[in-house]
Amino acid sequence: MDLSSLKPAEGSTKTRKRIGRGPGSGLGGTSTRGHKGAKSRSGYSRKIGFEGGQMPIQRRLPKFGFKNIHRVEYKAINLSILQQVIDAQHLDKVSVEDLIAAGFISRSQLVKILGNGKLTSKVDVEAHAFSKSAEAAIQATGGTAVKL
């Protein structure tokens, strides 16, 4: 037995349908594509959003809204998550690097600390932005909120 003698199991493979090989094959003529029309032509590929010639929905609906190019997007981190990081790593100062190491944010994200949850430890927090309630809660425990 060698590689040249290997064959698939009996009945597991079928021969390919050879279309467009003349009338004697039974699959000549229109080659299983039906009669005329764009879909029967060679090279046909429908454009995305094409609706058979009727006005497409993206052109029927009016344009609205706008994208603010000056928007700054922050990753929200609540005080409850901050407390989890402090408890797990026994920190007295939490920076953006600590949140990256804990897996809560990625390097490219900006961080905003929000005031949901309880903060029980005195801690200095470094972040890109703070909500008023979060800043008040951090200062209430005796810590500081430092904006980067």
pTM exceeds cut of 0.95: no
Closest listed residue to residue 81, CA positions, set 51, 105, 64, 49? 105
- Predicted confidence at residue 143, as pLDDT, reads 93
The pLDDT value given to residue 1: 80
Low-confidence ranges of the chain (pLDDT < 50): none
CATH domain 74-147 topology:
Ribosomal Protein L15; Chain: K; domain 2 (3.100.10)
Contact assessment for residue 98 and residue 111, using Cβ atoms and an 8 Å cutoff:
no
What is the spatial distance between Cα 54 and Cα 31, in angstroms, rounded to a whole number? 28
Sorted by where each begins, the domain ranges of the chain are: 74-147
Is 90 in contact with 145 (CB distance < 8 Å)? no
pLDDT of residue 8: 93
- In this structure, which amino acid lies at residue 12? S
The predicted-structure confidence for 92-116, as pLDDT tens digits, reads as follows: 899 999 999 999 999 999 999 999 9
> Percentage of the chain with pLDDT > 90?
89
C-beta neighbour count of 127 within 10 angstroms: 24
